[in-house]
């Protein structure tokens, strides 16, 4: 009897220790500027100098100064030429490349496991007569490029917002998806509205069913700077319920140019920008497109590179196992990793949940007194 009691005690203690050591997991991505996205080495070096002076890049986007006519970058008084960046996913990092902090208190990163398992990506594409020719061509090139380079193990779906209404759910033939994507370059009937984009995002979210790591919605649209606030709660809820990341490719401005940010006018930001980052996804924008005629070769090149970069980001995931998580926690790259990749950033769904739950084993669940 005594032996049995001792054995039960040993099992209980071992179980308690295991529970205390059971880490909380965060699905994260690391993005960095692709050096190949700059037209030449001098432009890349110039952008690096400006970035280190904290002038050229804020978060994931360059200061949206006036775009130059070539479509390659931005120009402004006293700033010189700042190339438009293309972001891509970073692979092969280890736990020593990350650190976490809950307010002022460090939190241990127990492991960082890269994940390249199959991904599910649903495209939501704006369609309609009000899209200008350049935007339509760039949309078609962006989606076609992803489908052309996609890994065989990844699955895709396509839903259009506007007319005609195309529905190609998961399991659709990739050739059919590619043909539909290429057809978006042609003039379409109907006028897309923000309600169409909102409904399409919610509808496409339901296609995923049971969540899988890395599930992603890719939104490609021109009217991302329009009012979207009414749809934000419903779209956010749909994405959160199925743990889906949102990636937005704006065929138009998604944040206000600095020249519009004054004491009287203020700044505006598309609701898709913070929404995509809060899901652990991301966004890209094309501040200026040709008003008449089709897209330039540089427009099409940049649309292809940015779309492929977002797809690469969607592929490159990390499972970070942390001592605990909470809504005040932030995850960063370590100083030595930033020294090697000064443009890089870590993105993950925010706010992080409380883990372990409050009161469990005396934990405060990520809160610091």
Kindly indicate the confidence band of residue 5, based on its pLDDT and cuts at 50, 70 and 90.
very low
104-119 pLDDT, tens digit per residue, is 899 999 999 999 999 9
Q: For residues 259 and 256, what is the distance between their CA atoms, to the nearest angstrom?
A: 8
- Considering the entire predicted model, what is its pTM? 0.80
The owner of tokens 């008084």 is 77
Residue 2 has pLDDT above 80, yes or no: no
Helices 194-206 and 232-241, packing angle to 10 deg: 10
pLDDT for res 219: 94
Please provide the DSSP assignment of 204-268 as one string.
Answer: HHHTT-S--TT-EEEEEES-TTS--GGGHHHHHHHHHHTT-EEEEEESS-SB--GGG--TTT---
pLDDT for res 141: 95
CB contact at 8 A, 29 and 328: no
Q: Indicate the range of 120-124, 144-148, 214-218, 261-265 predicted with least confidence.
A: 261-265
DSSP 325: B
CB contact at 8 A, 118 and 154: yes
Residue 327 has pLDDT above 90, yes or no: yes
Residue 360 has pLDDT above 90, yes or no: no
What is the CA 205 to chain-centroid distance, rounded?
Answer: 16
266-304 pLDDT, tens digit per residue, is 555 778 888 998 999 988 887 677 777 788 888 888 889
Report domain 117-315's class: alpha beta
DSSP 189: S
Tell me how far CA of residue 150 lies from CA of 124, 291, 315, 326, 365, in angstroms.
17, 31, 10, 35, 40
Q: For residues 86 and 83, what is the distance between their CA atoms, to the nearest angstrom?
A: 9
pLDDT for res 165: 83
Kindly indicate the confidence band of residue 85, based on its pLDDT and cuts at 50, 70 and 90.
low
Kindly indicate the confidence band of residue 359, based on its pLDDT and cuts at 50, 70 and 90.
low
φ/ψ (deg, to 5) at 109: -95, 110
CB contact at 8 A, 320 and 111: yes
The owner of tokens 């199959």 is 118
pLDDT for res 364: 46
Q: What number is the average pLDDT over the span 57-76?
A: 41
The owner of tokens 């736990």 is 95
Q: For residues 23 and 175, what is the distance between their CA atoms, to the nearest angstrom?
A: 43
Q: For residues 161 and 218, what is the distance between their CA atoms, to the nearest angstrom?
A: 12
Q: Indicate the range of 44-58, 156-170, 217-231, 247-261 predicted with least confidence.
A: 44-58
pLDDT for res 55: 37
Q: Any residues with CB less than 8 A from the CB of 151 and at least 6 apart, and which?
A: 118, 119, 315
pLDDT for res 190: 61
| pLDDT, greater one: 57 or 227 | 227
Token output for 205: 């979210």
CB contact at 8 A, 31 and 344: yes
The owner of tokens 């996804």 is 281
Percent of the chain at pLDDT > 90 equals 43
Q: Beta strand 73-76 with 80-83: parallel, antiparallel or unpaired?
A: antiparallel
pLDDT for res 162: 79
pLDDT for res 288: 72
pLDDT for res 272: 84
Residue 197 has pLDDT above 90, yes or no: no
- CATH 3.40.50.410 domain position(s) in the chain: 117-315
Average pLDDT value over all residues in the chain: 78
Q: Largest Cα–Cα distance of the chain, in whole Å?
A: 88
The end-to-end CA distance of the chain, in Å, is 45
What is the CA 73 to chain-centroid distance, rounded?
Answer: 21
Kindly indicate the confidence band of residue 342, based on its pLDDT and cuts at 50, 70 and 90.
confident
Torsion sign over Cα 271, 274, 280, 282 = positive
Question: Sheet harboring 105-107: ordered strands across?
Answer: 105-107, 98-102, 329-333
Token output for 69: 């006519």
φ/ψ (deg, to 5) at 359: 90, -15
């Amino acid at each position: 009897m005594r032996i049995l009691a001792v054995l039960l005690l040993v099992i209980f203690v071992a179980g308690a220790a295991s529970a205390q050591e059971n880490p909380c997991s965060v699905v994260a991505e690391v993005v960095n500027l692709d050096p190949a996205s700059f037209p030449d080495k001098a432009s890349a070096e110039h952008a690096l100098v400006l970035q280190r002076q904290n002038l050229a890049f804020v978060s994931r986007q360059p200061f949206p100064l006036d775009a130059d006519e070539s479509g390659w970058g931005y120009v402004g008084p006293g700033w010189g030429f700042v190339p438009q960046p293309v972001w891509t996913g970073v692979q092969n990092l280890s736990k020593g490349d990350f650190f976490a902090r809950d307010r002022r208190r460090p939190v241990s990163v127990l492991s960082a496991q890269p994940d390249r398992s199959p991904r599910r990506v649903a495209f939501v594409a704006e369609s309609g007569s009000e899209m200008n020719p350049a935007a339509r061509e760039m949309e078609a090139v962006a989606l076609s490029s992803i489908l052309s380079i996609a890994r065989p193990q990844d699955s895709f779906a396509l839903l259009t917002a506007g007319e005609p209404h195309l529905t190609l759910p998961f399991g659709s033939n990739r050739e059919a998806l590619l043909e539909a994507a290429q057809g978006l370059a042609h003039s379409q009937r109907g006028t897309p509205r923000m309600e169409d984009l909102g409904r399409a995002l919610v509808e496409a979210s339901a296609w995923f069913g049971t969540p899988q790591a890395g599930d992603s919605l890719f939104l490609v649209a021109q009217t991302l700077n329009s009012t979207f606030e009414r749809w934000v709660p419903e779209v956010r809820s749909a994405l959160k319920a199925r743990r889906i990341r949102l990636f937005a490719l704006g065929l138009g401005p998604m944040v206000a140019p600095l020249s519009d940010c004054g004491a009287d006018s203020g700044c505006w930001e598309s609701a898709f920008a913070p929404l995509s980052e809060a899901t652990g996804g991301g966004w890209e924008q094309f501040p200026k497109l040709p008003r008449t005629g089709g897209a330039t070769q540089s427009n099409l090149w940049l649309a292809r590179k940015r779309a492929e970069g977002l797809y690469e980001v969607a592929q490159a995931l990390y499972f970070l196992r942390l001592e605990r998580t909470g809504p005040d926690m932030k995850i960063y790259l370590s100083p030595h990793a930033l020294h090697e990749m000064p443009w890089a950033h870590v993105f993950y769904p925010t706010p992080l949940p409380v883990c372990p739950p409050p009161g469990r084993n005396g934990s405060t669940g990520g809160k610091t007194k």
